């Protein structure tokens, strides 16, 4: 077992319009701009141990996500935590942000859903925390 890596430092997200994306992430996630260059920006939640978000300008619009070939569901590679899953879902809908179906397990109340940034990058929200988070 490696003792070299202790946590995730930064999530890098490709964007085609840096200004639009900065405003989206500030508004939707509540992050602050730590650094803004001509073609990239570092965003932060200002919490210890939480990864920063590095928006990287690109010309190609591919979107980050993948298809689960076992069930055909499109998955994000980033899940953001919220204790208020239903309220966040409704808030995004009210802001006309594209969202997927809200999935909540009725037995324990945990679940999540996907939402897209201006470039079509699929992000997810969940109300699940794991040990150590």
Q: What is the pLDDT of residues 76-98, one digit of tens each?
A: 999 999 999 999 999 999 999 99
Calculate what percentage of the chain has a pLDDT beyond 70.
98
Sequence-distant (≥ 6) Cβ neighbours of residue 25 within 8 angstroms:
31, 43, 53, 55, 117
| Bridge partner residues of 112 (DSSP) | 103, 126
Distance between CA atoms of residues 43 and 36, nearest Å: 9
Specify whether the CB–CB gap between 80 and 124 falls below 8 A: yes
Residue 129 pLDDT: 85
Domain with CATH 3.10.180.10 in the chain: 1-58, 74-133
Look at the domain 1-58 and name its fold: 2,3-Dihydroxybiphenyl 1,2-Dioxygenase; domain 1 (3.10.180)
**pTM, 2 dp:** 0.90
Residue 1 pLDDT: 62
Per DSSP, helices labelled H in 68-123 are 85-94
DSSP state of 50: P
Specify whether the CB–CB gap between 121 and 13 falls below 8 A: yes
Q: What is the mean pLDDT of the chain?
A: 92
CATH ID of 74-133, from 3.10.180.10, 2.60.40.1220, 3.10.100.10, 3.40.190.10: 3.10.180.10
Residue 132 pLDDT: 73
Closest-CA residue to 26 (of 40, 38, 44): 44
Distance between CA atoms of residues 30 and 39, nearest Å: 21
Asked whether residue 130 carries a pLDDT value surpassing 70, the answer given is yes
Instruction: Tell me the average pLDDT across 105-116.
Output: 93
Q: What is the pLDDT of residues 30-62, one digit of tens each?
A: 999 999 999 999 999 988 888 999 999 999 777
């Amino acid at each position: 077992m490696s003792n070299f890596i202790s946590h995730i430092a930064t999530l890098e997200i490709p964007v085609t319009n840096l200004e639009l994306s900065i405003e989206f992430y500030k508004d939707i996630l509540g992050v602050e701009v730590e650094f803004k260059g001509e073609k990239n920006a570092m965003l932060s939640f200002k919490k210890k141990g939480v990864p920063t978000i590095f928006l990287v300008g690109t010309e190609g619009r591919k979107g980050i996500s993948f298809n689960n070939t076992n069930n055909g569901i499109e998955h994000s590679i980033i899940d953001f935590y919220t204790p208020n899953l239903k309220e966040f879902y409704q808030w995004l809908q009210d802001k006309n942000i594209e969202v997927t179906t809200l999935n909540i397990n009725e037995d324990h109340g945990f679940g999540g859903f996907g939402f897209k940034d201006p470039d079509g990058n699929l992000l997810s929200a969940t109300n699940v925390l794991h040990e150590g988070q």
